[in-house]
Amino acid sequence: MEIGGVPTVLMGYADQTTILRSSSLLVGCPNIRFVTVPRVGIPSETVPTFYDKIVNALTDPLTAKEQESGLYSPPQPPRVLFEGTLIEAQDFLQQTVLMENCHNCPICKYTDGLPVVIPTEEAVAEMLTGTSHDALETLTSTVTMDTSGIMKTEQTAGAPLNFGQGQTSTVEKVAICAVMAGCLPEYMPVVLAMASTGGGYLGYGQTSSPQATSWLVSGPIAKEIGMNSGQDALDTGNRANMTLGRVAAIMWVNFGGQIPGIGRSDSGNAIHSLCFAEDIESNPPGWVSFAEVCTYRDEDGNTVNYTADDSVVGKGGAMHSYPSIGFPYYYRSLTTGTGGLARLLGVEGQPGWYNWVEALVKYIIPSKVTPGGLGLIVHPSLAYQLYMSGFKTKADYYNWLSGPGCGDRFGYITVTTRYLSGFWEWAVSDNMGGYATERTSGLKWDVLLETNPDYGWPAFGTNPMSNFIVVSDGFQDEHWYQYGRPRGTYIDPWR
C-alpha cells in the first residue's frame, strides 16, 4: 500500500495484526500489507524467517485491491436489526463468526457470549423511561472532565463520542444494550454515564495482558437503584451490580468493535467487567466519598469538586489480590498484637492500632519498576483500623503513600531499578540512541543513570492523588483488593 507515494508495510506481532488492520481502515489504507514478526528469539536466527517477506511486501507491485483508497466510514446498523419470534431473535443475537486469531473458534457478533434479553421495541421504550434524554440524541460528554493531574486525557463538554472505527451512538442504542444485559429502566443514568466514558478508550484493546474493567458507583443513585455495597458487593446476586457490569461489555462489542480477532488483541477478559457501589455510610469520620474527590471544569474553566449529593461512576483497571497475606485472621488479630501480621510489623505482644498497609507495600514495592498509585477496595473494619492508626482523612493516607512516610521506610523506585527492567527500552530509550528527559530532574535518562543511579521516586507516585482507597464489600470479614484509580464521570446529567 502506498502512503504518500511510498510503499509501506506495517510490522506487527501475531496477536496485533487485527488491530493494525482495523486502524488502517480509518486512515485510508483499507488493504495494507502486513508482516508478522516473533517477539522472542535470537536475532540472527529469527530475522531470516521474515526478512524476505518484508522485502517482497515492499517491492512487489500493488494489486488492484491494494490500490483501493479512501477513508473508511463504517455503516451504521439499521434501527430494526431483526424481525421474528423471540426464540429466533435469541438465535440471531447469539450468532457467531469464526475468528482466525482464535484458531477459528466461533465468537459472538452482538453479545458477550451469554444469552440476552431480547430488545423488542416495547422493551427498549420501557428502558428509555429511565432517562429524560431523547432516544435519538447522539452521545456527547456532559461536562469537561478535569483529571487534576491523575490522568493526562480529558473529555470536552458537548463533544460527540467516537467509539471504535469512528462510530457514534444514540441514547436509544444504549437502551438496547441495557435491555440485552438485563438492566432496569432506573439504571439508565448510570448506563449512559458509562457509555459517555467512551471516546478513544472504546476503540481497540491494544495490550496483551489480562486487563479487566471495573466500575465504581459513588453517590446517592447507588442506593436509589438498589446496588450492593455491603456483603459480597464484588460477588454475584445483586441485579444492579451484575447487569451494570455486563452492559459495559455488550456496549463495547456493539459500539467499539471489541470482538476477539476483530478489534482486540488482549489475552485477558478486557471487555467483561465488574460494577459495585461504594459503602459511603461505612466511611470512618472525615473520610469523603469517591465522588467528592472527583472534579470537572465549569464554563469558566474553573476546577470544581463534586459534592456528596452528586453521583459519579468511576472507570478503573484490573483488580488483584495477594493471597499470601490476604487471610482474614491476618488482619483481625493485628490490634491484639498476635498473629503473623503483628510479627511481620514487629509489634507482637503489643496491642494497639497499626497501619496494616505497611505489610502490603513490603510485598508490592520490590515488584514495582515504575512509580504509580496504589488503589484499594477495603472492608469497613480495615478502613477503621487505618483511621485509628492515624489516617484521619483519605488525604493523610495518600500523602503517606507517596511521601517519605512510606518511601523512607520501604524504598523508592530508582534509576537503576528502571534500567534493569523492560521499562528502560520501552519508555526511556527510543532504541535509536536517543533518550527521553526525566521530568523531575530535567536530565536525560542516560545521563541520570551515569551520574546519579540511585536517584529515585516514591513507589506510589509523586502525586498523592494517584492513590485511591474506597470502602465496600463489607459486614462479615476483613479483606481488600488492589484496584486502579478510577476516572470519575458525572451520572446526574443523564437522569
Phi-psi region of 66 (alpha: psi -120 to 50; beta: other; left: phi over 0): alpha
**Alpha-carbon dihedral sign for residues 28, 30, 32, 34:** positive
Whether the per-residue pLDDT at 278 is higher than 90: the answer is: yes
In a domain, 249, yes or no: yes
Whether the per-residue pLDDT at 439 is higher than 90: the answer is: no
Shared domain check, 336 and 300: no
Nearest to 394 by CA among 312, 281, 285: 285
Average pLDDT, the chain: 81
Shared domain check, 396 and 294: no
State the residue range of the domain holding 15: 2-59
Bridge partners for 277 per DSSP = 217
Shared domain check, 217 and 361: no
- Per-residue model confidence (pLDDT) at position 262: 63
Shared domain check, 210 and 130: yes
- Indicate the pTM of the whole model: 0.85
Name every residue whose Cβ is closer than 8 Å to that of residue 258 and which is 6 or more positions away in sequence. Answer: 164, 202, 204, 205, 252, 264, 270, 271
- Per-residue model confidence (pLDDT) at position 162: 75
Count Cβ atoms within 10 A of the Cβ of residue 28 and give its class: 0-12 exposed, 13-18 middle, 19 or more buried.
middle
In a domain, 162, yes or no: yes
Based on the structure, what is the number of domains in the chain? 3
In a domain, 74, yes or no: no
Shared domain check, 101 and 172: yes
- Per-residue model confidence (pLDDT) at position 247: 92
Shared domain check, 333 and 251: no
Shared domain check, 311 and 330: no
In a domain, 204, yes or no: yes
Shared domain check, 269 and 153: yes
Shared domain check, 275 and 299: yes
DSSP letter at 282 equals G
Tell me the C-alpha to C-alpha distance, in Å, between residue 357 and each of 19, 340, 362, 387, 483: 39, 14, 9, 12, 14
Whether the per-residue pLDDT at 196 is higher than 70: the answer is: yes
455 vs 428: CA distance, rounded Å: 15
- Per-residue model confidence (pLDDT) at position 267: 44
Terminal CA-to-CA distance of the chain, rounded, Å? Answer: 48
Name every residue whose Cβ is closer than 8 Å to that of residue 346 and which is 6 or more positions away in sequence. Answer: none
In a domain, 75, yes or no: no
In a domain, 183, yes or no: yes
